[in-house]
Amino acid sequence: MRLKFLHKLLILTVTPVLIAQAGTMLAVLQTSKQEIEAGAKQALRVGSAVAEQLVQTRNQQISRNVKLLASDFALKEVIAISDPESTRSALDNHANRIGADLSTFVYIDDDGESDRATSALERHVQRYALTVLDNDGALPDIFSIVLGKSVYQVYTAEMRAPTTIGYLMLGFRVGDNIAKPIRKLTDLNVAILQIGATGINTAVSTFDAAHSHVPPPDLLNKQLAANSVYPKLVGPDEFWVTHLPLTRADERVFIVLASQKLKPLQHFLKAKDNVLAFGVGLLVLVVALGAWLSAGVSRPLRSLASATRSLAKGEYETEIRVASRDEIGELAQGFEEMRKAVASRESQISHQLLHDPLTGLPNQKHTIAVLEREIDSQAVTEVSLIVIKMQSLDRIGSSLGLHSTDELTRETARTIASVAGDGYFVACIDTNRFAVACCNTDLATAQALARDITDQLDLGTQLGSTRITLKSHAGVAHYPSHTTSAEDLIRYAMIASVDAKGKKLRLDTYDTGREADFTRYLKIVQDLPTAVEHEELKVFFQPKVSIASGELYGAEALVRWQHAELGFLPPDDFISAAERSDNIKLLTRYVIQKAIAAARQWQDDGFTLKVAVNLSARDLLDRDLFGYVTEVLEQHDVPTTRLILEITESSVMEELDLAVETLNTFRAAGILVSIDDFGTGHSSLAQLRDLPLDELKIDKSFVSQISADSDDELLISTTIELAHGMGLTVVAEGIEDEYSLRRLKHHKCEIAQGYFFSKPLPEDDFRRWMADYRPADYTERRSETRPFSPPQPSQAAPDTPGQMKKRP
């Protein structure tokens, strides 16, 4: 069993008291017992002296009276001269007077014998008296005699007239007259015993009925006889006993004094009970005192223990208060200081947990909590949430340094907070992502605020001597019209901000149902790296034909993805996702590798074709791409002039200088650069003059319009002319019919690409297609022996939906 501290303390206080008590009790018991014994013995000794004194005084008194009577002249005359009857009568009279129980007179004749007794009793007494004569023949003053059951003390006195005529003898029965006064004076049991030849005769006894058989005193024990006290059984009980002769020099009649051993002890036992009661009382007092004291010590310890338990549970609010000023108090003080330190650290940590370390603004977790609270609140009927997505600082970071990007982020946070004002909750929910929660604010007001914020951000931030402008896109979502969940509200606003970027808008508002698209988008982003790794992506090839000769010129590599869950995915569905998530590098390299390997294969098959690969804006910023491309070309032993990189106007414009630098590097190595989708962008050809280009691809939206719209044809013809002026080869894509092809030939367009020749084909199909291909002169289009036929609807790429879609 584990003892509690309280109990240990209690034992510590109570045990010494208990031991002391028991010791005292034992000692008291021992000494009391001795004391009582000594007292009892002393009482007996005193009693014995008292009894002796009493008997002696009585003897002297009676002796004197008897002697006085013996000298009475009248009595003398009667005894000397009268007849026995008269003598008897006179004796009776006198005996009565002094209270004697029997009387007789013994005459002393010359012969020393006399027989003038009047009764047998007298004669007996007289005869007995003779037996007690002393050595000189004289009668003792007192002797005892047993008559029947009674013991008498007989007092004798010599009678002279003038010579001794005899002895007067008066007997007094021994009884209460002796025992009672002794008993009264000593409070001892008194018995007077006569020890005769026939046994013990009890003359008188103050013992009660239970103790009526008083045993004879230990006469043989001389030591005891000398007025000593000794134990003896009387009846069933033990007594302290002493004895003394009733009459001196008479060893037959004794006074026995006794005191019951147990009796004084009973007083003691009563006292012992009191002592015990006192002891128990004391013990109770000590236990109570000990308990109080121990509690005084253990209570603060217990409160300390419970305080530490609270600390362990993470409750740091309650102050640890222990009033005592002792060591425990000091300990408690220490604990209290520790609690404060931990509490402050805890609040720091929880602040860090709920705040963005850089801007000090509440973080996403905090924002969700606040939104949840607001949504739950009765007072709040609607919440509009704005999420502002800032342009990534990665590239700026590398040129400006980390310190500047941190400052830029903080400055952005300050700008947003100052535009939002005090009424709104501003948070930093992610890197480069801020949020403004607007309670009881409708969507229109929030949209206006979002515009104000992006307008302000567009003004840029002064950082030292340079002014830096970061692009920002805002998304807005609304409770309750979009969702009732705080987390969804944030997510929806985020989706809206991503959509805003995708749509190249400053601000977009969440569209109900957009979430499903977004989930699909996220899935695509998530699965793309493994798809590349496991070669789930397939590269298709679409032929490019020299219009003048009808010969095969090259092929464009176009990627496709057969997604395990989402099914067939056209590039439009995942290219932009790859671009946004930085997976585009992986994808581009994959396609380049497949395209160059295919070119090698074609060459081995006897076809010397150029292969075109599409690049994204990101690829133009990838400084390692050139190294990769040349390595793959070398690896497959394909000349650099065999590769065309297709870029779009917008991708070049994003980071013009860097893009131009990259393109120059490629071109310097002999790789060709083609500007894709021409005509859909904002720039005119004149603006593209400074770009390092080899080829221009007129967008399919113009080509397909040729037959219907003469304006388009005019645009195409001027573009071709201008492009030729700039030394560019012109490619027309999206040729679906022979008419378009003829018109393009007419305008001196060099290369054609489109379903008219073939849809994009898997590599094996493409090789088969090539083997079957026969060049033709498209000016002779009405001839009956055309080596090719326009694409059948059934052939129109069921695995490539969306290919027929026109660009806006």
Q: Is 803 in the site for Ca ion (CB under 5 A)?
A: no
Buried/exposed code over 661-693 (b: 16+ C-beta within 10 A; e: otherwise): ebbebbbeeebbbbbbbbbbbeeebeebeebbb
Sequential DSSP letters for 20-82: HHHHHHHHHHHHHHHHHHHHHHHHHHHHHHHHHHHHHHHHHHHHHHHHHHHT-HHHHHHHHHS
Secondary structure letter of residue 794 according to DSSP: G
- Binding partner of residue 268 among Ca ion, ligand C2E, none, CB cut-off 5 to 8 Å per kind: none
Could you tell me if 214 and 205 are in contact, meaning their C-beta atoms sit under 8 angstroms apart? yes
- Binding partner of residue 65 among ligand C2E, Ca ion, none, CB cut-off 5 to 8 Å per kind: none
- Binding partner of residue 763 among Ca ion, ligand C2E, none, CB cut-off 5 to 8 Å per kind: none
Closer CB to Ca ion, 527 or 677, in the complex: 677
Q: Is 646 in the site for Ca ion (CB under 5 A)?
A: yes
Q: Is 695 in the site for Ca ion (CB under 5 A)?
A: no
SS3 assignment for 302-366: HHHHHHHHHHHHCCCCCCCCCCCCCHHHHHHHHHHHHHHHHHHHHHHHHHHHHECCCCCCECHHH
The distance of Cα 762 from the centroid of its chain, to the nearest Å, equals 66
Closer CB to ligand C2E, 307 or 557, in the complex: 557
Could you tell me if 201 and 146 are in contact, meaning their C-beta atoms sit under 8 angstroms apart? yes
- Binding partner of residue 755 among Ca ion, ligand C2E, none, CB cut-off 5 to 8 Å per kind: ligand C2E
- Binding partner of residue 527 among Ca ion, ligand C2E, none, CB cut-off 5 to 8 Å per kind: none
Could you tell me if 736 and 770 are in contact, meaning their C-beta atoms sit under 8 angstroms apart? no
Closer CB to Ca ion, 450 or 591, in the complex: 591
Q: Is 651 in the site for Ca ion (CB under 5 A)?
A: no
The sign of the dihedral angle between the CA atoms of 112, 114, 120, 122 is negative
- Min separation Cβ 633 and ligand C2E, Å: 17
- Binding partner of residue 591 among Ca ion, ligand C2E, none, CB cut-off 5 to 8 Å per kind: ligand C2E
Among the residue ranges 13-21, 194-202, 253-261, 640-648, the one whose residues contact Ca ion (CB under 5 A) = 640-648
Which residue from 374, 527, 619, 677 is in contact with Ca ion, where contact means CB under 5 A?
A: 677
Closer CB to ligand C2E, 250 or 573, in the complex: 573
Among the residue ranges 11-19, 379-387, 649-657, 677-685, the one whose residues contact Ca ion (CB under 5 A) = 677-685
Alpha carbons 188 and 44: distance in angstroms, whole number: 8
Closer CB to Ca ion, 391 or 701, in the complex: 701
Could you tell me if 510 and 726 are in contact, meaning their C-beta atoms sit under 8 angstroms apart? no
One-letter amino acid identity for 103? S
- Binding partner of residue 586 among Ca ion, ligand C2E, none, CB cut-off 5 to 8 Å per kind: none
- Binding partner of residue 487 among Ca ion, ligand C2E, none, CB cut-off 5 to 8 Å per kind: none
- Residues in contact with ligand C2E by CB under 6 A are 542, 557-559, 570-572, 575, 591, 614-616, 646, 676-677, 700, 733-736, 753-755, 760, 802-804
DSSP helix/strand/coil, 389: strand
Q: Is 705 in the site for Ca ion (CB under 5 A)?
A: no
Q: Which residues contact 140 (CB under 8 A, 6 or more apart)?
A: 132, 134, 156, 249
Alpha carbons 642 and 210: distance in angstroms, whole number: 148
Closer CB to ligand C2E, 217 or 554, in the complex: 554
Q: How does strand 150-160 pair with strand 142-147?
A: antiparallel
Closer CB to ligand C2E, 501 or 700, in the complex: 700
Closest residue by Cα to residue 703 from 737, 733, 745, 746: 733
Site for Ca ion in 605-634 (CB under 5 A): 614
- Min separation Cβ 648 and ligand C2E, Å: 7
**Count of chain residues binding Ca ion (CB under 5 A):** 4
- Binding partner of residue 183 among ligand C2E, Ca ion, none, CB cut-off 5 to 8 Å per kind: none
Could you tell me if 426 and 420 are in contact, meaning their C-beta atoms sit under 8 angstroms apart? yes
Whether omega before 801 lies within 30 degrees of 0, making that bond cis, reads no
- Binding partner of residue 803 among ligand C2E, Ca ion, none, CB cut-off 5 to 8 Å per kind: ligand C2E
Closer CB to ligand C2E, 256 or 647, in the complex: 647
- Binding partner of residue 497 among ligand C2E, Ca ion, none, CB cut-off 5 to 8 Å per kind: none
Could you tell me if 750 and 548 are in contact, meaning their C-beta atoms sit under 8 angstroms apart? yes
Q: Is 694 in the site for Ca ion (CB under 5 A)?
A: no
Alpha carbons 758 and 763: distance in angstroms, whole number: 13
- Min separation Cβ 594 and Ca ion, Å: 15
- Min separation Cβ 770 and Ca ion, Å: 19
Q: Is 676 in the site for Ca ion (CB under 5 A)?
A: yes
Q: Is 740 in the site for Ca ion (CB under 5 A)?
A: no
Q: Which residues contact 608 (CB under 8 A, 6 or more apart)?
A: 602, 642
Calculate the alpha carbon distances from 130 to 70, 111, 134 in Å: 19, 14, 9
Closer CB to ligand C2E, 261 or 700, in the complex: 700
Closer CB to ligand C2E, 214 or 558, in the complex: 558
- Min separation Cβ 678 and ligand C2E, Å: 10
For residue 650, how many C-alpha atoms fall within 13 Å in the half-sphere facing its CB? 7
- Binding partner of residue 559 among ligand C2E, Ca ion, none, CB cut-off 5 to 8 Å per kind: ligand C2E
- Binding partner of residue 499 among ligand C2E, Ca ion, none, CB cut-off 5 to 8 Å per kind: none
- Min separation Cβ 550 and ligand C2E, Å: 17
Closest residue by Cα to residue 224 from 44, 57, 51, 54: 44
Angle, alpha carbons 259-265-268 (nearest 5°): 140
Give percent helix, percent strand, percent coil of the chain, each to the nearest 5: 50, 20, 30
- Binding partner of residue 673 among ligand C2E, Ca ion, none, CB cut-off 5 to 8 Å per kind: none
Closer CB to Ca ion, 260 or 758, in the complex: 758
Closer CB to ligand C2E, 508 or 646, in the complex: 646
SS3 assignment for 248-274: CCCCCEEEEEEEECHHHHHHHHHHHHH
Instruction: Provide the 10 A C-beta neighbour count for residue 8.
Output: 12
- Min separation Cβ 650 and ligand C2E, Å: 11
Closer CB to ligand C2E, 51 or 671, in the complex: 671
Closest residue by Cα to residue 522 from 500, 484, 494: 494
Closer CB to ligand C2E, 88 or 743, in the complex: 743
Site residues, Ca ion (CB under 5 A) = 614, 646, 676-677
